[in-house]
Amino acid sequence: MRPKIYLFGDSITEMSFGDGGWGASLTHHFSRAVDVVLRGYSGYNTRWALRVLDKVFPAEIDVGNAGEPLAVTVFFGANDACLPDRCSAFQHVPLDEYEHNLRSIVSFLKMRWPTTHVLLITPPPIDEAGRLLYPYFDNTSGLPERTNEAAGAYAKACIAVARELGIPVVDLWTKMQRFPDWQKSFLGDGLHLTLDGNRIVFEEVINILTREGLSLETLPVDLPHIKEIDPIDPLKAFKI
Amino acid sequence: MRPKIYLFGDSITEMSFGDGGWGASLTHHFSRAVDVVLRGYSGYNTRWALRVLDKVFPAEIDVGNAGEPLAVTVFFGANDACLPDRCSAFQHVPLDEYEHNLRSIVSFLKMRWPTTHVLLITPPPIDEAGRLLYPYFDNTSGLPERTNEAAGAYAKACIAVARELGIPVVDLWTKMQRFPDWQKSFLGDGLHLTLDGNRIVFEEVINILTREGLSLETLPVDLPHIKEIDPIDPLKAFKI
């Protein structure tokens, strides 16, 4: 039985199997070693995520599974950070509640699976011009429903929670802004990821998993690799 | 618990989560409805596949799962069709044994899961020039280890097995050759799929799944969709 890595988050997770998506790249990377399981829910914030935790990770999934999951990525904040007085206000979650909710999500996962690596990912930066060009809901205000400054505050809160709980975190908000033209290189509509944006998330997640001891070097390959199969007597590799 | 679709096959399956891969596209398409599970084994033929069936699909995977899988794609033949007197002879499986092995694989799956849709996929056509340019093993003979004619014979055998067992089949060999320049448009190295080649497999698999009643219209969405969440009272959607 192969071990699993769950990807839990909002639309940036749900869309992670589109062309060049970071979820697809993780699956490709671990194609003979890990089942990557998609649990992305577009539009969700941590308040809603907390309400559905026991449905996303029901107790039954442990039965008949390959032990505890290797890892769970928890990638929320882009919706929590919608401004409370703009057109996506219904998705907004106050900063202190966001922190509290993240702690509760991590604690649920750690209680269920003490050895599982829980990995936080901060929201990405926001390109406000992009958000005005590609509105998700009717927006006649001329003001973006998300700002980069607000996303940054949630990213910092996410990092603080990770430090407090002693778990790894990808600081996507800072990482992306180190590159020139991050607004267009990494974000297609001011929020969701381009090919290059997806590549950064993939690389950062792989870096952390490797640091945590989860890599192709340490994980067993499922069934004999073609290189281990003797051309003279191929069936030898399949004898028990 | 989400239902599953297993992708069982050789390298064309194992590589199906690369950029624009057909496995990744299936996961993306069913992102809130189905878990697509990758079980691709590079270099494998049906003889080896048969030896590992009960490890790929161990009885334990039924426990704690969401009932029988929705579907399993069985995509072998590209390695069986290696010529017996060329450099990949150790992967060759005679045509009648290939047919017999395919029947055994389908029968194993149908015995285990009577309601699961088992879907065969024929090997793709072969671009022999491509195979000479990108050898997988040492090949000084000047002759390709696979020919399009041989692949076609295995494709026809695959279709015959599907008809005999009354199960659906994607005739990839014929389908691809209907397009001009299929050699370069669909095959990167004479065998493995380009972006456009992957798109054809994805579309054909979706067509068959839809015909079998498995589509976004018929499958339930996991947890409330953002469009069902009332902006005035979002938490209403999450009450049991």
| Mean predicted lDDT score pLDDT of chain B | 96
Q: Which one of B28, B88, B97, B236 would you mutate to disrupt binding with A, by most A Cβ within 10 Å of its Cβ?
A: B28
Closest Cβ–Cβ partner in B35, B47, B65 for A37: B35
Cβ–Cβ contact A229 with B under 8 A: yes
Low-confidence ranges of chain A (pLDDT < 70): 62-66, 240
> Helix or strand or coil: residue B226?
helix
Q: Which one of A16, A25, A26, A38 would you mutate to disrupt binding with B, by most B Cβ within 10 Å of its Cβ?
A: A38
Q: Which of A93, A57, A54 is nearest to A76 (CA)?
A: A93
Q: Does residue B11 have an active-site annotation? A: yes
Q: Which one of B36, B216, B223, B239 would you mutate to disrupt binding with A, by most A Cβ within 10 Å of its Cβ?
A: B223
Render pLDDT for B157-211 as a digit per residue (tens, 0 to 9).
999 999 999 999 999 999 999 999 999 999 999 999 999 999 999 999 999 999 9
Under the banding of pLDDT at 50, 70 and 90, the label for residue B66 is low
Which one is catalytic: A10, A11, A16, A117? A11
Q: Does residue A42 have an active-site annotation? A: no
Cβ contact A88:A137 at 8 Å: yes
Residues in a beta bridge with A121 = A170
> How many residue contacts between A and B have a Cβ separation below 8 Å?
118
Domain spanning B4-238 has what CATH number? 3.40.50.1110
Cβ contact A55:A20 at 8 Å: no
Cβ separation of B60 and A64 shorter than 8 Å? yes
CA distance A143 to A87: 9
Q: Does residue B189 have an active-site annotation? A: yes
Render pLDDT for B104-145 as a digit per residue (tens, 0 to 9).
999 999 999 999 999 999 999 999 999 999 999 889 899 999
Average pLDDT over residues B44-61: 93
Contact residues for A143 (Cβ-Cβ < 8 A; gap 6+): A86, A132
> Helix or strand or coil: residue B107?
helix
pLDDT of residue B29 exceeding 90, the answer is: yes
Write out residues 77-106 of B within 8 Å (CB-CB) of A: 89-91
Q: What is the residue extent of each domain of chain A? A: 4-238
Instruction: Report how far apart, in Å, the C-alpha atoms of A60 and of each of A53, A54, A64, B1, B203 are.
Output: 13, 10, 9, 9, 33
Instruction: Report how far apart, in Å, the C-alpha atoms of A84 and of each of A87, A88, A92, A94, A147 are.
Output: 8, 8, 6, 8, 12
Average pLDDT over residues B88-102: 97
Q: How many CB atoms lie within 10 A of CB A104?
A: 14
> Helix or strand or coil: residue B106?
helix
Cβ–Cβ contact A68 with B under 8 A: no
Tokens 């800072």 map to which residue? A174
Cβ separation of B63 and A64 shorter than 8 Å? yes
